[in-house]
A and B are shown apart, each in its own frame.
Chain A
Amino acid sequence: MLASLFGRLNWDSIILVKEFEDPDLQLLITSGAAAAIPLGGIFLVLLLWYLKWWKPLLGWLTSVDHKKIGVMYIIFSVVMLFRGVVEAVLMRTNQAVALNGGFLSSDHFNQLFTTHGTNMIFFVAMPFLIGLINVAVPLQIGARDVAFPKLNSISLGLTGAGGFLITISLLIGQFSTGGWTNYPSYTGKLVNPGPGVDYWITAIGLSGIGSTLTGVNFAVTIYKMRTKGMKFMRMPLFTWTALATSILLIFAMPPLTAACVMLGLDRYLDFHFFTNDQGGNLMNFINLFWMFGHPEVYILILPAFGVMSELSSTFAAKRLYGYTSIVAATMCIAVLAFFVWLHHFFTMGQSTTVNAAFGIATLLISIPTGVKIFDWLATLWGGRIRLNTTPVIYLCGFLVLFVLGGFSGIILANPTLDYQVHNSLFLVAHFHNVIIPGTLFGILAGIHYWFPKMFGFRLMESYGKVTAWLWSIGFVITFMPLYPLGLMGMTRRTVDYTDPAYVPLMLVSGAGSLLLGLAFLFLIITFWRSIVNRKQLVTPIGDPWDGRTLEWWTPCPVPEYNFAVLPEVDSRDAFHTAKERGDAYAPIEKYEDIKIPSNTYFGLIIGILGCGLGFGLVWYMWWMAAGSFLAALATIIVYAFLPEREQVIPAEEVRRVDENWRREARETYGVTRDDEITEANKGLARPDVVPG
C-alpha cells in the first residue's frame, strides 16, 4: 500500500534524515544546502504572511502582462544564479586544495558540476534572457502585449516546474551526476538506476517545452504585432536578436525534448535507444543533444549581442553603425548554428573529412561575429560615451573579454588542436569565457539598462559599477589560469589530482572564484540599496538614458497597456527622431478604450501540475504522475470552454494618465548626459552636444 503511494520514495531519500542518522562532512555540506530549502520556504511563507503579500503575489503569478512575466523570469533566475554561484565557488575551492584529495567526495563533486551546468544554462541564462525579451520586445515593436499572453504564462509555469524539480533534488534524493550533457550509457538504468537522472530528464523536458512555446510566441509577436511603420529593417537590434533566438528555440528545442523522451523510455520502459546492448547506440543521443546544444549557445549569446548593440548606440548617443550588417550577421549566425554541432565531439570517431567539414563551418561563424564586434567599436568611435555608467563597464568588459573567448573558440574549432585540449580545463575556460563576459554581462547590463522600465527607478550606479568590475576582474582571475592548466593536461570534471604542478594556478583560480561570489553579493546589494533609496532614483518620465527606441517612449513604470496610443514609426530609432523634431511629448487628440486580457490561473495550474508530473515520475509515484498529466489535459480542455475575460480601460482613464505624463514631460527641464547618474535624472533627456 505504502509502496504504491510513495513509489520508491522513503525517509532516507530526504537528505536531512540521512545526515541525522549517519553524519559526515559530505552530507553536512549537502544537508546545509538541503536545509536551506525548507527553511527558506518557511521564511518566505512567514514573510509573505507578515507583509500581507499573498494577494499581490497571486496577482503576479496569474498575470498575463508581458512585463510582469518578464520580471518573474528574472527574479527566478536571480534565485537560481545564487545556487549556481555557490556551487561554482565550492567546486573551485575544493579543486584549489585537491592535490591528492580535497574535501569533496567524487560523487558529490559530480553532482555539483552537473547541477551547476544544468542550472546555469537552463534555469539561469535562458530564463534571464527570456525575461529580458519579455520585458523589452513588445515595447520595442510598439505592441500592447505578446501574441499569446496566456501561452506566455504557461511557458513561465513550465520553466518554474523545471526549476522546482532541480531545486527539490537537493532535499529529496539527489541530482544526476552525468554532467549537463548527461550522456548515456553512464546515465542509463544499468549504471545509474537512482532518481538523479530522472530529475534531469523531467526538469529539462518540462522547461524545454516551455522554451519551445516561448519561441513560438515571440516569433509570432515579432512577425505579427509590430506597430504601424515598424518595418523589419526598422526594428531595434534587440528585437532582431530576440527573433533569431525565437527561431532557434523553435527548431533547436525539439531535439533536446526528443532526447529526453528517448532516454526516459530507455530508463522507464527498457527501450533500446542508447543502451550498449540489443542494438542501442549512444552516439544517437550525443548527436541529438548537440543538435540542440550548439544552437543553444547562440540562443544564449544572440540576445546578449542585442543588448550590447542597444547599449553601444544609446551610451554613445549615436546611431548604430552598420545596422544592416549586424542584422545580416545575426541571421547568418542563426542559420550556421545548425550546421556545426559535430564540433562538440570531434574525438568520437568520425572520419577526418567529416571533422574537417564541421571545423570549417565552425570557423565560418567567427566571420559574422567579427563583423559585429567591429560594428560596435565603430558605433562607439567618436561617440558621447559615458564611462561612469554601469552598462558601459559591462560593454567594455564584453568587448575585451568576449573577443578572447572567441579566439580560444577558433583554436577549438580546429579538429587537430581540439584533439589535444578537448575535455580539459582549456575547454572549461573557453566556454566560461564566452558565457560570462558574453551572456552574463549582457544580461546584467540589460537588467541595469531596463530596470527603470520594470520598476520605475534606476539602480544605483555606485554599487552597480563595483559589481560590474568585480564580475570582470573575478572572471579574469578565475578563468584565465584554466587555459594554461588545460594545456598542462588537467582534465575537466575531476575532483582531485596528483600533479603538484597544478597547485599554484589552482589556488589563483580558487581565489578568483571568491571574487565572483563577492560579485554576486554586490549584485544583491545593488538591488537592495536601490530599493531602499528608490525615492531618489525614480525616473517617472521614462527616458533616463536618452534612449532611441520605442520602449523609452513610455512612462516608468510602464502602464499595463504599454502605449496609450500605439506609436507610428517613420524611421529607425523613431523615438530619437521624434525627440529631435521636438514633438515626442506633444498632446494627443484622440484616445480610445483599451482592452487587455484579465489574469488567469491557467499558467499557474499547468506549472503546479508539471511539478506533480515530474516528481511523480522521478519517484515512481505513478498515481501522481498520471493524475497530474490527466489533470493538465482536463485543465486545457476546461479553459477552452471558459469565456476569455478581458478588462476594458476606459478612454478617459487612459487620457488622464497619458496627458499627465505628457504635460510633466513638457514642463520638466530634463538633464543632459552629464547629470544622467544624479538624482536630477527624472527620466527626461535634454540634448547635449556630441563632440566631433
Chain B
Amino acid sequence: MMSNPTPESLHPGLNLGEEHGEDHLEAETSVFGFWVFVMSDLVTFGMFFAIFAASSAPMWMAGGPGPKDFVDIGSIAWQTGFLLASSLTSGMAVLSLKERHAGEGASRGRLIFWLLLTAVLGFGFLYREIADFVSMAQMGAGPTRSGYLTAFWSLVGLHGAHVTAGLLWCLTIVVGVLVRGVDKRWKLALLRWAVFWHFLDVIWIGLFTFVFLGGLI
C-alpha cells in the first residue's frame, strides 16, 4: 500500500494518537477504506432487511409457521450475550495493542488471549445459531417453506456468514501475530477486523430488535 497523506487528508475521527507516527498515516487510508467498505456492506444488509420487512405480513407466510412458532427467545438471549461479550473482548484486544505501544511492555500474549477469547465467544454464538436453524428445519420451518421464511433465513444467515468470515479473519490474525509478531501489517489488520466485528454487533442489535423481538410482538 502506498500513501502520500498530507495533513489535510488525515481523518480526525480515526486517530490512533500521536505516538503511532508513520503507522498513523497509513492507518488513515487503510482503516478509513475499510470503513467505507463496511458502509457498502451495510447497504447489503439494508436490502435484506427491507425484503424481510416486506415479507413479514401473514400473506407472505403462505400458511407456514410464523415467528411465534419458532423463535426461541432463550437461545436468542444467549446469542446476544455471546456476541456482545465478544465485542467487548475484541475491544480489549485492540487496547492491548495500544498499551504495547505506550511502552508498558504488554505482551503479544495478552493480545492473543483476547483474540482467542473473542473467537470462543463467536463460536458459541454460531453454535447456538446453527442449532436454532437445525431445529427450525426439523419443525418444517426451512427457508423453502415460504417467502417469509426465505427472507428470515437469508437475513439471519447473511449475518451468520459474516460472523463466520470474521472468525476466520480473527484466527488468521492470531496465526499472523504468532508467526510474524505484532508488526504494522497485523496491527492494521486488527484495526480493520475490529471495525468489522463491532459492525456485526450493531447489525445483530438490529436483528434482535426487529426480527426476533419484533416478530414475537
A148-B1, A272-B150, A596-B2 given; A223·B32 CB < 8 A: yes
Report the minimum CB–CB distance from B189 to chain A (whole Å): 7
Say yes or no: is B29 at the interface (Cβ < 8 Å to chain A).
yes
A224-B28, A279-B62, A641-B176 given; A147·B3 CB < 8 A: yes
Binary flags per residue of B118-161, CB closer than 8 Å to A gives 1, else 0:
00000000000000000000000001111111110110000000
Say yes or no: is B36 at the interface (Cβ < 8 Å to chain A).
yes
Q: Give the CA-CA distance A527 to B47 in the complex, in Å.
A: 44
Say yes or no: is B179 at the interface (Cβ < 8 Å to chain A).
yes
Q: Give the CA-CA distance A257 to B47 in the complex, in Å.
A: 10
- Residue in contact with B9 in the complex, picked from A223, A637, A640, CB distance below 8 Å: A223
- Count of CB-CB pairs between chains A and B under 8 Å: 141
Report the minimum CB–CB distance from A234 to chain B (whole Å): 11
Report the minimum CB–CB distance from B32 to chain A (whole Å): 6
Contact between A224 and B43 (Cβ–Cβ < 8 Å)? no
Count chain B residues whose beta carbon lies closer than 8 angstroms to a beta carbon of A.
49
Say yes or no: is B5 at the interface (Cβ < 8 Å to chain A).
yes
Q: Give the CA-CA distance A215 to B203 in the complex, in Å.
A: 23
Q: A250-B39, A255-B47, A597-B2 are in contact. List 18 more A-B contacts (CB 8 A).
A: A212-B40, A216-B37, A219-B36, A224-B3, A224-B9, A225-B9, A225-B29, A226-B8, A226-B9, A250-B36, A253-B40, A255-B43, A278-B147, A279-B61, A279-B64, A280-B147, A288-B47, A644-B185
Q: Give the CA-CA distance A360 to B164 in the complex, in Å.
A: 44
Interface residues of B in 39-78 (CB under 8 A from A): 39-41, 43-44, 46-48, 51, 54-55, 59-62, 64
Binary flags per residue of A497-517, CB closer than 8 Å to B gives 1, else 0:
000000000000000000000
Report the minimum CB–CB distance from B51 to chain A (whole Å): 5
Q: Give the CA-CA distance A228 to B9 in the complex, in Å.
A: 9
Say yes or no: is B15 at the interface (Cβ < 8 Å to chain A).
no
A278-B62, A278-B145, A279-B60 given; A641·B179 CB < 8 A: yes
Contact between B150 and A265 (Cβ–Cβ < 8 Å)? yes
Interface residues of A in 213-235 (CB under 8 A from B): 213, 215-217, 219-220, 223-228, 231
Q: Give the CA-CA distance A291 to B28 in the complex, in Å.
A: 31
A228-B6, A254-B44, A262-B51 given; A273·B151 CB < 8 A: yes
Contact between A271 and B32 (Cβ–Cβ < 8 Å)? no
Interface residues of A in 225-258 (CB under 8 A from B): 225-228, 231, 250-251, 253-255, 257-258
Binary flags per residue of B22-39, CB closer than 8 Å to A gives 1, else 0:
000000110011001101
Say yes or no: is B107 at the interface (Cβ < 8 Å to chain A).
no
Query: Interface size for chain A: under 10, 10 to 19, 20 to 34, or 35 or more residues?
Result: 35 or more
> Can you give 16 A-B contacts (C-beta < 8 A)?
A147-B1, A217-B33, A223-B11, A223-B32, A224-B9, A224-B28, A250-B43, A254-B47, A259-B47, A265-B150, A271-B153, A272-B149, A273-B51, A279-B148, A280-B147, A641-B179
A228 — which chain B residues lie within 8 A by C-beta?
A: 6, 8
Contact between B40 and A566 (Cβ–Cβ < 8 Å)? no
Report the minimum CB–CB distance from A345 to chain B (whole Å): 15
Binary flags per residue of A628-659, CB closer than 8 Å to B gives 1, else 0:
00000100010011001000000000000000
A143-B4, A220-B33 given; A273·B147 CB < 8 A: yes
Contact between B40 and A216 (Cβ–Cβ < 8 Å)? yes
B28 — which chain A residues lie within 8 A by C-beta?
A: 224
Contact between A640 and B172 (Cβ–Cβ < 8 Å)? yes
Query: In chain B, what residue has the closest Cβ to A270?
Result: B144
